[in-house]
Amino acid sequence: MKRTTNLLHISATSILYVALFGSLFSAAPLIAQDSEDMAQPVPAQLVQDVRDATKQFLNVNNAVKAGYGPAFGCVTGPDHGAMGIHYVNGGLVGDGKIELKHPEALIYEPDGNKRRLVGVEYIVDAATWLANHNNVPPTLKNQDFQFIGAPNRFNLASFFELHVWAWRDNPQGAFVDWNNHVTCEGQ
C-alpha cells in the first residue's frame, strides 16, 4: 500500500513537472510575439501623434500665449542627462484629464535666450485620477504612466506622469524621464 502511494505521488509529481515545464516552452513564443507586436508600433505612433499635436509649440511664444509658463528652472538628471525647462499649463494640470492634444507640460532645452522644444509631459494628480478611474493607473495609447509619490523634489502631492521625447531622440527610450541628449548648459 505504501509503495503504491509512493508511486502515485511520484507519477503525479512527474506529470505536474512535465506539464509545467511544457507550458513554459509553449507560452514563451506567445509572450514574446505579443510584446514584440505591441512594443514597436505603439511608441512610434504615440511619438508621431505627440509631434502632430504640439508642432505649434516649436515656437515658445505660442506656448506662452496658450497658457504655458516656465516652472522649476532647467531640470538636470541625478547622474546623467536632463529634462530641460518645463513650461506648465496649470489649468491643464488641475483638470484631472489626460488628452493627447493637451499635454500639461512642454519641455524646452535652453540655448541662450532661445528655447528648443524637445518633449512633453503628461501629468495628473494621482488621488484624483484613481478616485475617478476605479483605482486603475493612467495610460496613453497603451503607454503606462509613472507614479511619483509624495514627498518629491517638486513639493507636489503624488502624481502620475509620462514623458514623451517627441522632438529630441532619447537613447534610453522615448518615454524615459532623463534624456542624455538634452542639457541645461545653454542657459
Q: How many helices (H) and strands (E) does the chain have?
A: 5, 8
pLDDT tens-place string over residues 93-146: 989 999 999 999 999 999 999 999 999 999 999 999 999 999 999 999 999 999
Task: Map residue 167 onto helix, strand or coil.
Answer: coil
pLDDT for res 177: 93
CA distance 161 to 149: 11
Range 23-50 average pLDDT: 49
Q: Tell me the pTM.
A: 0.75
Name the residue among 124, 145, 120 with its Cα closest to residue 52: 120
Q: Does position 39 have pLDDT exceeding 50, yes or no?
A: no
Range 149-162 average pLDDT: 92
Task: Map residue 111 onto helix, strand or coil.
Answer: strand
Q: Where are the alpha helices (DSSP H) in 40-157?
A: 41-54, 60-65, 90-93, 126-132
Half-sphere exposure of 3 (CA within 13 A, CB side): 0
Burial 37-70 (b: 16+ CB within 10 A, else e): eeeeeebeebbebbeebbeebeebeebeeeebeb
Q: Does position 179 have pLDDT exceeding 50, yes or no?
A: yes
Name the residue among 122, 131, 111, 117 with its Cα closest to residue 168: 117
Q: Where are the chain's structural domains?
A: 1-39, 44-164
Q: Does position 90 have pLDDT exceeding 90, yes or no?
A: yes
pLDDT for res 43: 58
Task: For the chain, give the mean pLDDT.
Answer: 80
CA distance 176 to 179: 7
Of all residues in the chain, what percent carry a pLDDT higher than 90? 66
When mean pLDDT is compared across 32-41, 51-60, 88-97, 139-148, the lowest value belongs to 32-41
Provide the pLDDT confidence category of residue 42 given band limits of 50, 70 and 90: very low
Name the residue among 108, 106, 109, 145 with its Cα closest to residue 124: 145
pLDDT for res 163: 97
